[in-house]
Structure 1
Amino acid sequence: MRRLVGVELTRLRWRRAVQVLVAFALFVPILVFAITAWNTRSYSDAEMAEFQTQVDRDTNSIETQQSLKDCLDNPDDFGVPPGEDVQTTCEEWTLPQLDWYAFREPLNLDTERDAGSGVVVIALLAVLFALAGTTFAGHDWNTGSMSNQLLFEPRRGRVWLTKGLVVTLASGAIAAVVLAAYWTGLWVLAGARSLDPSGHSVWEGYQQGIRGTALAALCALCAYAVTMLFRSTVVTLGVLFGLSILAPILLALIAFPDNERWMPQTNIAAVMLDGTTYYGEMVCTSTTDELGNEIQECGDSTEHKLTLAGGSAYLLGLLALAAVPSVLTFRRRDVP
């Protein structure tokens, strides 16, 4: 078994398409990090002085002063709440503010983890390693080398397991290194900018990296299993497209309670973010007025929590749906 793992690892390492995908997996996070660092850089004193000059110029313009006068004369038309100081509220609403121009947000590790570059890097790695998993198996079927491999190792179950193990471990190892390096880079960048990268935020970033590693490895294994089932990379890409694009659209069109719970992106978000929130149908109640007319009142949509365990169970279920028939058909069907 160990020798077979070594052979498959060598074949995976020398597959040109896999090499390209791994190169992207290493380069794209660097690019994302550079973009994040650039977009969160602080403003220089010269830039802040220029913004202040623009604020003063726009504040003294005829249009701005007229808007302020109209607000002061007719605060109700501008929606000023009763009891609020009209002068202060109108100035706040109509006069230009410095943050209208200096809108760039400083680096925030919590934001990067929950809705920023951390999520983007995990999603990119998951896609790239899914492509690596399908091209690794698809090449064997397209070239007919699968039959030659079975001449040296006729136990098909072991062959399937070894290939899947190599794809999973290689994807997980690379994803772990990339995500650990990415969050270390963000930590160092925050410290270099004299921000406060608290240990709590950094540790949660590394925890997201662990979950992202597992997600990337699972995507690679699932793509490999589907390719071994259909024996075609093209079909696998179609299945993945349908699962990621068409399935959510179909579930949205089918009206049944709590359908958001079964959408793939909801469960993926639960894994990446250690739980997520989604919203169900709007709650409506019917009442009858004094004249006997029925009045329907609708409130806010029902809020639901999806835990990490719930999202993981969903994704593992999808993996089982792909892996079980893949193994069974590989053991029984003829290999050309």
Structure 2
Amino acid sequence: MSLYRTELRRLTKRRFTRWSALLGLLVLVAVVVGVFFTNQKIDAGARAKAERAAEQQWQRDVRNNEQYRVECDKAKAGGSAQAGQFPEDCSAIQPPPREAIQAEWFLPSTFDFRTSFGNTLLPLAAILALVGFVVGASFVGAEWSTGGMMNLLLWRPKRLTVLLTKLAALLTGLLAVALPTTALWFGSFWLVATLRGSTEKMTSGTWQSFALTGLRGVVLALVTAAIGFALASLGRHTAMALGGVIAVMVVGQFGLGILLRMAGVRFVEAWLLPTYALAWIQKEVKLEDWESCQATYFGECKPDTLTVTWQQSSVLLAVGLTVILGAAFWTMRRRDIS
């Protein structure tokens, strides 16, 4: 019997794998349903209603402005102590022009696929990455903690082959779930935009950008699954991977962020891992340092900026994955199995 097919079957038969995947899918469904019911299609009736609301708002502003001017005139004429709260010349108090109140401000929320869909790819990538990590960690961690790994190595004594086969089965299974899920995510929001928004102005370049972002989300899920797998293999327990991530995020990230801010380091976020994960999905993240504000010719204050790109994130992901997986394979080869 093929070791790869056996491991793939073991992965799909595990209840933890099934429940984790189902829970992740339910969260994604909840997001789609929430977006569907919080948006609506803009028709002529909605635009007319928005125009009426804008007109009513303008009339209220005019009345309030006139009342404010009357109070100003009264305070100036009476010489009261409140006169200092008003302009020197009460005639400067003028109502806003009608075009200042735009009807677009009063339109209901609508889902424009071209402008809004890109923001939904981040939660998709986050859920896939989380599911991939916990499934990857539990897949090999359970084998160590229950003694299944020792029994398997009696049947197949080649340690590295066994571990690589398990990793290949994990990544294949995750890919088989992530790709259809991503395709359904695209289709679901296209349906939401059709019924509750707009699908106009979609071009081939926009589709390509969305497809590449979705692909990067799938790659991130595969990387996190491999990292969870490697950490659990290093610690021979699922808790090693989960505890290691909690320690890195709580102690390493939050603690490091506090220390860097206390030390006055610029662009603290550039030292934190979530910034690079976000840059990997969104192609870039622009960091701003407002403490080093530079005044422009017009007196505008512009902060220094630092851009973290997806290329920089890819290098960090590749190096981190190589180091962690390399350590897992090295310890698998050298340690006694007991």
Fold conserved (TM > 0.5)? yes
C-alpha contact (below 8 Å) 1:276/1:307 kept by paired residues: yes
- What's the offset of the Cα at 1:103? 4.3
1:133-148 pair list within 5 angstroms? 133-148=136-151
CA distance in 2, matches of 1:257, 1:48: 47
SS at match of 1:330: helix
1:38 match: 37
Equivalent residues of 1:270, 1:311 under 8 A apart: yes
Quick check: 1:270 aligned with 2:279? yes
Percentage of matched positions with identical amino acids: 21
Q: Distance in 1 between matches of 2:115 and 2:56?
A: 36
Counterpart in the other structure of 1:112: 117
Match of 1:201 in 2: 206
1:44 to partner: Cα distance: 6.4
Instruction: Provide, for residues 191-215 of structure 1, a one-character-per-residue CA deviation record: whole Å limited to 9, x for no partner.
Output: 5646333332222111111111100
Of 38-47 and 215-224, the range deviating more from structure 2: 38-47
1:304 aligns with 2:313: no
In structure 2, list runs of 5 or more residues that go unmatched: 73-83, 295-299
Shift of 1:304: 1.4
Q: What does 1:240-259 align with in structure 2 at a 5 Å threshold?
A: 240-253=245-258, 254=260, 255=263, 256-259=265-268
Partner amino acid, structure 1, of 2:9: T
Indicate yes or no: 2:227 matched with 1:232.
Answer: no
Matches of 1:119 and 1:172 in 2, distance apart?
18
Give aligned pairs, total: 312
Listed as ranges, the matches of 1:34-183 within 5 Å are: 34-42=33-41, 65-67=63-65, 69-70=67-68, 86-88=94-96, 98-99=103-104, 101-113=106-118, 116-183=119-186
Unaligned runs of 5+ in 1: 286-297
Q: Is the 8 A contact 1:176 1:209 kept in 2?
A: no
Moved more, 129-138 or 33-42: 33-42
The aligned residue for residue 297 of structure 2 is: none
1:132 CA drift (Å) = 0.7
Moved more, 222-231 or 249-258: 249-258
Deviations 1:153-210 (A, max 9, x none): 1111111111112212222332122112212333354456463333322221111111
Q: What RMSD over aligned residues (CA atoms) do the two structures have, in Å?
A: 3.4
Could you list the per-position Cα deviations for residues 208-267 of structure 1 after superposition, in whole angstroms to 9, with x for gaps in the alignment? 111111000101110010000112222311222233344332232223344422311111
* Aligned partner of residue 87 in structure 1, secondary structure: coil
Q: Could you tell me which residue of structure 1 aligns to residue 16 of structure 2?
A: 17
| Cα distance, 1:25 vs structure 2 | 3.5
- Aligned counterpart, 1:279: 288
Q: CA deviation at 1:30?
A: 2.8
Question: How far does the alpha carbon of each residue in 1:53-100 deviate from its partner, in whole angstroms, 9 at most, with x for none?
Answer: 666666666x972355427987x9799xxxx994335x677x7x6555
Q: In the alignment, does 2:333 pair up with 1:328?
A: no
Q: With structure 2 as the length reference, what TM-score do the two structures score?
A: 0.79
Match of 2:224 in 1: 219
* Aligned CA distance change for structure 1 residues 182 and 85 (closer, same or farther; 3 Å): farther
CA-CA distance at 1:13 after TM superposition = 0.7
Higher relative contact order (CA closer than 8 Å, sequence separation 6+): 2
Residue type matched to 2:19 in 1? V
